[in-house]
Amino acid sequence: MAALAVALFNSCKMENPLLSESPLEYGAPQFDKIKNEHYLPAFEQAIKEAKGEIDAIVANPDEPTFANTIEALEFSGETLERVASIFYNLMEANTNDEMQQIAETISPKMTEFSMYVSLNEKLFEKVKAVYEARESLDLAPDQLRLLEKKYKEFARGGANLSPQDKEIYSKLNEELSLLSLSFSKNVLAATNAFTLELNDEAELEGLPDFVVALGKQTAEEKGKEGWVFDLSYPSYGPFMQYSARRDLREKMYMAYNTKALQGENDNTQIVKDIVDHRLGIANLLGYTTWADYALEERMVKTPAEVDAFLTKLRNPSLPAARKEVDAIYKYAKANGFDAPELMPWDFSYWSEKYKAANYSLDDSLLKPYFQLESCIDAVLGLATRLYGLQFIPRPDLPGYHPDVKVFDVKDESGKHLALFYADFFPRESKRGGAWMTEFRGQSIQDGVEKRPFISIVTNFSKPTGDAPSLLTHNELTTFLHEFGHSLHGMMAEGRYGSMTGTNVARDFVELPSQIMENWAFEPEYLRGFAKHYRSGEVIPDELIAKIEATKNYLAAYYQVRQLDFATLDMAWHNSAPVPEEGTREFEKAVLTPSALLPQVPQTCISTSFSHIFSGGYSAGYYSYKWAEVLEADAFSLFKEKGIFNTEVSGAFRREILSKGSSQEEAVLYRNFRGHDPQPEALLKKLGIVK
């Protein structure tokens, strides 16, 4: 009977591509064979297998050691990690109703498994025994750091709680997981629920050809007549920039800024429930607020330090931003704007007009020079020039959607480093925005190294008619940003996957991405690839000069906007008790002191603020600005030595990209730059202070 059970289990694994080892080169995921019906049985089997591995650690009669406890724990759950990384990544990039139902079914099972590990008293006793003996174990630095991290994970995960509190903790985590899923589902549904359908050419006033073509294509895809615009950013952003119809801009703005605020996709109560559950978890663990808990493992350690950091940036930025807004308003008044005040749905339109008038530059002038294929070559080529990486197309390896391009990444010696999956175009099955993720991280076990599978996901405009996909300069910058994250993953080195690649402190993880944005403004780099897609003409020096001149256009305005997001995040997560006001009312009270434009009472950011309510940035949105400070200081070394200087890029790879979290992030930064980060570096870069 036992032999039959094993045979049936092996047969099940062979039939389910999520459970069996992939026969493809490097073990690449078999995306072409994975179907929805594979997910649930794969999760159930993988959870069972992972529990068995935990049980084996606990049942081991030998004295707890680093190898039989800490390393065994680090390498446990490999199958579950493979299944979960594929499923949850595709939930973001290529989802469907059935997958969302599976997610709701599997969420409590995953939470229960997480609790099975983190609240396992006998397992924690073994971890604690190794931790308390750490000074006598002669561990290598990365081993000692792994031990310390594992111990902290248990302590911060409730291992020291009483049995009664552990039950409460488990329930709160399970409910929080479901709340976050519901939040994300509602945002996606609300985004997809709205379309602006236009049938009169007069309603297209002001829209450049590329925006009109996109509207026509969207209409055709949805089986509609005329032109259709939706809330995906390639549609919404250009419409708000160029539409001369104020009434339609207002309609679009209100739809975008009331997402998941009412009706069947309402997130107003879910926001407060998420905040309440996080606060409950933090209190159980001995922290005053969720922010206190979350920040303990960051570079910036306390809410007070975050507030001081935000204030140091806001104080000089707010008056500068108000001057910028006033200049736009005066320009609008001088050019026919007759409303008593500039409303939020007016700002993108008139700031674009102002930029065109004062800098003679808008996206329609630049887009012809940024054909997607050329940008792909240029972005990948930058990694070749800085780090010697080679990107070899692999059309024989399956992607999870026909749009996905697959590359084999090799280093300068020809050694395989990673598989790189690039998914550029919007679709209804993909959430908005842009991000980097991984289907497998880097690790070394028993002398065998597994190299990572890295993915970049964006929502760039698709080709339309006879025009190829053309990027805005902002989209090129976004591409470079997410590619920076990808490099962090691709060039990971180390034994332990939980400490390699992008597995670093939340307020450090944006340094490799944001430093890459700088090259989008460097003339020497732009001249190498930016050519008109029809004529082949290299981008003129005068356009490059305008890109440089507009680099800090509205820098203070956008800085304050990001600081507002960070302030709102901290307000939600540094509150105890949970605010009594309604979600919308609380948000308005937080944002009013720094408001640059009139606030619209009916709108709300929080109900679609996915970064903090369904992403990983709760009490961490400030980290974007923190990382900008890091990158402003770090890139100044490239500016000093040369933007393609391989001595500097080599040091950046050696001290930052390859190290993961093998040392404290503050130490890694000092090792590269020679000093601690200073906020003044960013204020100077943005031109806010001299």
Q: What is the pLDDT of residues 202-219, one digit of tens each?
A: 999 999 998 999 999 999
Q: Which domains does the chain have, with CATH numbers?
A: 2-160 (1.10.1370.40), 194-259 (no CATH), 368-554+624-685 (1.10.1370.40)
List the end-to-end C-alpha distance of the chain, in Å, as a whole number.
79
Report whether pLDDT(639) > 80: yes
Most confidently modeled range among 3-12, 244-253, 613-622: 244-253
- What tokens appear for 579 in the block? 């605010």
Res 466: pLDDT: 79
Do β-strands 416-423 and 405-410 pair in parallel, antiparallel, or remain unpaired?
A: antiparallel
Report whether pLDDT(6) > 60: no
The CA dihedral of 511, 516, 517, 518, to the nearest 10 degrees, is: 100
Res 15: pLDDT: 87
Instruction: Report CA-CA distances (Å) from 609 to 286, 411, 615.
Output: 27, 38, 9
Instruction: Name the active-site residue from 352, 482, 510, 587.
Output: 482
Q: Looking at residues 462-481, what average pLDDT do you find? A: 91
Res 4: pLDDT: 37
Res 467: pLDDT: 85
Cβ contact 267:261 at 8 Å? yes
Res 387: pLDDT: 98
Report whether pLDDT(2) > 70: no
pLDDT digits (tens, 9 = 90+) for 63-105: 999 999 999 999 999 999 999 999 999 999 999 999 999 999 9
Bridge partners (DSSP) listed for residue 419: 408, 453
What are the φ/ψ torsions at residue 229 (nearest 5 degrees)?
A: -120, 140
Instruction: Report CA-CA distances (Å) from 508 to 146, 342, 512, 656.
Output: 18, 37, 8, 10
Cβ contact 442:492 at 8 Å? yes
Q: What is the C-alpha separation between 154 and 141, in angstroms, rounded? A: 20
pLDDT digits (tens, 9 = 90+) for 680-690: 889 999 999 98
| 548 vs 283: which has the higher pLDDT | 283
Cis check: omega of the bond before 577, within 30 degrees of 0: yes
Residue type present at position 646: T
209-221 and 233-242 are packed helices; what angle lies between their axes, rounded to 10 degrees? 140
Q: Looking at residues 403-428, what average pLDDT do you find? A: 96
Residues 6+ positions from 80 with CB-CB distance below 8 Å: 43, 46, 47, 49, 50, 113
pLDDT digits (tens, 9 = 90+) for 116-163: 998 899 999 999 999 999 999 999 999 999 999 999 999 998 998 999
pLDDT digits (tens, 9 = 90+) for 298-332: 999 999 999 999 999 999 999 999 999 999 999 99
Report whether pLDDT(12) > 70: no
Query: Confidence band (pLDDT; 50, 70, 90) for 8?
Result: very low
Res 359: pLDDT: 84
Report whether pLDDT(335) > 80: yes
Task: Mark whether 44 is an active-site residue.
Answer: no
Res 14: pLDDT: 55
Report whether pLDDT(3) > 60: no
Report whether pLDDT(345) > 60: yes
Cβ contact 297:665 at 8 Å? no
Q: Looking at residues 37-60, what average pLDDT do you find? A: 97
Res 1: pLDDT: 41
pLDDT digits (tens, 9 = 90+) for 512-543: 999 999 999 999 999 999 999 999 999 999 99
Residue type present at position 45: Q
In whole numbers, what is the pLDDT of the chain averaged over residues? 94
Residue type present at position 122: K
pTM summary value: 0.80
Phi-psi group of 394: left, alpha or beta (phi > 0 → left; psi -120 to 50 → alpha; rest → beta): beta
Q: Quick one: what percent of the chain has pLDDT higher than 90?
A: 89
Report whether pLDDT(363) > 60: yes
- List the 390-393 sheet strands across, edge first: 390-393, 405-410, 416-423, 453-457, 435-440
Q: Looking at residues 392-399, what average pLDDT do you find? A: 98
Q: Quick one: what percent of the chain has pLDDT higher than 70?
A: 98
Query: Confidence band (pLDDT; 50, 70, 90) for 562?
Result: very high
Q: How many C-beta atoms surround the C-beta of residue 667 within 10 A?
A: 12
| Chain-centroid distance, C-alpha 273 | 23
- What tokens appear for 515 in the block? 């430093």
